[in-house]
Amino acid sequence: MEGIERAIPDVRTDAGLRDRVVAFFVDVALVTLAAVVVAVALSVEQMNVAPAAVFWVVAWFTYVVAAQGRFGQTVGKHLVGVVVATTDGSACSYRRAALRELVRVGDLLSLNLVGSVVTVGRRRQRLGDLVAGTVVVPAKRTGGLRGGARTPRGRRADGGRRL
């Protein structure tokens, strides 16, 4: 079975706000769906809001840190074609991913007043990116699974031949 490769950042440009927002809401939907599935599987008939919210935040943090630390992107970021990298283009580490998300928790607790500063500086970094030394940039198209780079239209860049 072929594995999923880490996304390669294209640090020459930055991800647009629309891509970041769409990726965020895709990931929120996935984590929420997973939380509901777990609740149903555990036959939780009634759950208080506080424990459910804590479970959701822990699930979110775990998912995002694991995905960005391992692959440089979450499912939402993969779908819109963006990746988290350091400001010099290196891979985002688990530590940097955790820093980004710890600041996001502050964003959420402040009703996103802090996070509304997404367009800080020329790299359009949110506060979590500034703290972690990361940027969200377009991913160079690789097709996701091993098997050759792909052009933006989905055709293999090597003309269909394995290199």
DSSP 92-120: PPHHHHHHHHHHHHHHHHTTTTTTT-TTB
Residues facing 156 on adjacent strands = 150
Residues 110-160 have pLDDT tens digits of: 666 655 555 556 677 888 888 899 999 999 865 544 444 443 434 334 344
Tokens linked to 66: 């694991």
Residues 91-114 have pLDDT tens digits of: 999 999 999 999 887 776 766 665
pLDDT of residue 25: 93
Provide CB contacts within 8 A for 123, sequence distance 6+: 14, 87, 129, 135
The stretch 29-40 carries a mean pLDDT of: 88
pLDDT of residue 149: 41
The stretch 41-49 carries a mean pLDDT of: 69
Give the domain ranges of the chain: 8-140
State the pTM of this model: 0.76
Contact 111, 124 (CB under 8 A): no
DSSP 32-93: HHHHHHHHHHTT-S---HHHHHHHHHHHHHHHHHHHHHHHSS-HHHHHHTEEEEETTSPBPP
- CA 113 → CA 52, 103, 118, distances in Å? 23, 12, 10
pLDDT of residue 141: 67
The stretch 9-35 carries a mean pLDDT of: 89
Residues facing 159 on adjacent strands = none
pLDDT of residue 36: 84
